[in-house]
Chain A
Amino acid sequence: QKEVEQDPGPLSVPEGAIVSLNCTYSNSAFQYFMWYRQYSRKGPELLMYTYSSGNKEDGRFTAQVDKSSKYISLFIRDSQPSDSATYLCAMSEGGGNKLTFGTGTQLKVEL
């Protein structure tokens, strides 16, 4: 079993839809949770990070962490074609520790 599980998709939604992306994990020591966006043939770009359980909102993006269920989510409201990319979740046990990535979910937002 992988430490971090993420549905690879692809996920196709119409423009304006609410997108829900999820990851589950098995390592209870993870405390920091991040979402990265990666366009084709580019490096990942940090979207959001949260510490421990709870919600965090930034514009159209909302990140949720439920440590009791070992489940994290990223919601994208009013999705745009420019949101089409691969979304990677990543987790860390603490500051300075390595990140463990999910496989990434490929998202396509269609006009």
Chain B
Amino acid sequence: GAVVSQHPSWVICKSGTSVKIECRSLDFQATTMFWYRQFPKQSLMLMATSNEGSKATYEQGVEKDKFLINHASLTLSTLTVTSAHPEDSSFYICSASSQGASVTQYFGPGTRLLVL
């Protein structure tokens, strides 16, 4: 149980284009989803927290107009990187938590983004 999927697993795009990444909880309802980015040999940095039906809460330094997050249902959250630039190239990972009081986050397999 507690499986989280991400799509696509990797994507290459041209600078200036937008990329959408999907995060799905397959066997549980995720009231809260988190989006992280991870640079090589570095830890996970939280970008934003989203609760179903609410606006996402962004961490300091993360541009909300550039990284659009939608959590429209209890099983799906999307991250859209708008007007992507090479510095946005990274490993993006989502996680999901089943209840507000839960401390356990289940992570997706990640999406590797390369912006040319």
Interface size, chain B (Cβ < 8 Å): 27
Task: Name B46's contact: one of A6, A95, A98, A104 (CB within 8 Å).
Answer: A98
Query: In the complex, what residue of chain A is closest to B36 when comparing beta carbons?
Result: A101
Q: Are B104 and A49 in contact (CB under 8 A)?
A: yes
Task: Tally inter-chain residue pairs, CB-CB below 8 A.
Answer: 58
Report yes or no: A102 in contact with B43, Cβ–Cβ below 8 A: yes
Q: Does chain B have a CB within 8 A of A43?
A: yes
In chain B, positions 25-63 with a C-beta closer than 8 Å to chain A are 32, 34, 41-44, 46, 49
The 9 A-B pairs of least Cβ separation, nearest first, read A95-B101, A43-B107, A32-B103, A103-B43, A101-B43, A96-B100, A43-B109, A43-B110, A44-B107
Interface residues of B (CB under 8 A from A): 4, 6, 32, 34, 41-44, 46, 49, 91, 93, 95, 97, 99-110, 112
30 residue pairs of the A-B complex, CB under 8 angstroms, read A32-B103, A36-B107, A41-B91, A41-B110, A42-B109, A42-B110, A43-B4, A43-B108, A43-B109, A43-B110, A44-B107, A46-B106, A49-B103, A49-B104, A88-B43, A88-B44, A92-B103, A94-B103, A95-B99, A95-B100, A96-B101, A96-B102, A96-B103, A98-B34, A99-B34, A99-B46, A99-B105, A101-B43, A103-B43, A104-B43
